[in-house]
Amino acid sequence: MTLKKISGGVCAPAGFTAAGMHCGVRKNREKKDIAMIYSEAECSAAAVYTQNKVYGAPITVTRENISDGKARAVICNSGNANTSNADGVEKARKMCDLTAEALGIKSSDVIVASTGVIGQSLDIEPIAYGISQLPGQLSKTGGTDAANAIMTTDTKVKEIAYEFTVGGKTAKIGAIAKGSGMIHPNMATMLSFITTDAAISPEMLGKALKEVVDRTYNMISVDGDTSTNDMVAVMASGLCGNETISAEGADYEAFKAALGAVGDYMAPMIASDGEGATRLIICNTYGAADEKTAKTIARGVIASSLVKAMFFGADANWGRLLCAMGYCGAEFDISKVSISMSSAAGSIKGVENGFCIPFSEEEAKKILLEKEITVDIYMNQGEASATAWGCDLSYEYVKINGDYRS
């Protein structure tokens, strides 16, 4: 399949427009805090949610709304998570009602999301004002404003779009995401909204989304904290004109590959923008006995606080990698394991047959001072592989989270 990177983000696919603005949820008027994405056509819809047992009111409402597999709009605020509030569900539904009224659609066709501080009551007045203004600002160039509006402690706007072929038709897929802190595997990583003009049934859309999320978005860890609010949601307008994908086959695989490309782009983007991060850490596991083992080891390594601190200090402490593997819960034979690390400055091996081996500290230091570092773990026990993305743990992370509410 030919995949071409294009501009436009969530607005690249046919039928979608977006907007973002400051409405007053956040005190800083320089920061946008409410986003809207709209489809002119009814869409197939699917989402994957946080596995935290304490989850935000918007997740309750979005689950209800897209239980029929249909949606036409996304409304999302930053600055307040609308979680652990007695009136949270009522206000999340109110956000949907206001969006429906402003766009002339059904309230049940709205995906609602919130991100920010947990446990503080959400003031609906600024939200209502923002929703009243956003329809007039919707445009094909509004994706970047929407991407800005869902950011919390993010330092980088995260958006992407691709063009691909499915069923003989040219289709497009686009996405925005936010994610910097409270990011850990098992779909508690971020907010990400994906749009496409491919025609696909809700059932197959949900299947593709879960498969892609398990391999990409769920393979990120910044700090080991599982958020209460986060979701990945996708809407498919069908306006590219392909025959609706309703079963597995070549068209389904083509669509899943495009969706997978979005995940492959967003996962390292989010990991590299971890709160206080100075380095992106990529961990590849090769030759594991099965996929579960490969994933568990890769995630275990990038989730270790000691490993993260090691990379912050550019200290090639191979024992920390082995230690993280040993307690991650995977079954394996350590005597067959080799590990190397690489970056733009070169590559170095420090573990062979399960034992640490002599290496050049000077060379290792140069490699670990780069902004992107790859850990390659060779299990030599099977054919399965996996990739996980993480970041280092810096002093700045503690500073950011020590006064997060201020």
Give the catalytic positions in this structure. 189
Give the CA distances from residue 321 to residues 26, 246, 293, in Å, rounded to whole numbers and listed in that order: 40, 44, 16
Give the CA distances from residue 55 to residues 25, 153, 173, 267, 303, in Å, rounded to whole numbers and listed in that order: 20, 20, 28, 22, 22
What's the rounded Cα separation, in Å, for the pair 133 and 118?
26
Pairing mode, if any, of strands 338-343 and 346-352?
Answer: antiparallel
- Tell me the Ramachandran region of residue 385: left when phi exceeds 0, alpha when psi lies from -120 to 50, beta otherwise: beta
Angle at 93 between CA 87 and CA 98, to 5 degrees: 120
DSSP assigned state of 245: B
What's the rounded Cα separation, in Å, for the pair 75 and 96?
8
Helices 88-103 and 57-65 pack at an angle, to 10 degrees, of: 50
Q: Residue 164 class from Cβ within 10 Å (0-12 exposed, 13-18 middle, 19+ buried)? A: buried
* Residue pointed to by tokens 């050049």: 360
Give the CA distances from residue 73 to residues 7, 138, 153, 178, 210, in Å, rounded to whole numbers and listed in that order: 21, 12, 25, 18, 21
Give the CA distances from residue 7 to residues 38, 65, 130, 162, 213, in Å, rounded to whole numbers and listed in that order: 18, 30, 26, 8, 23
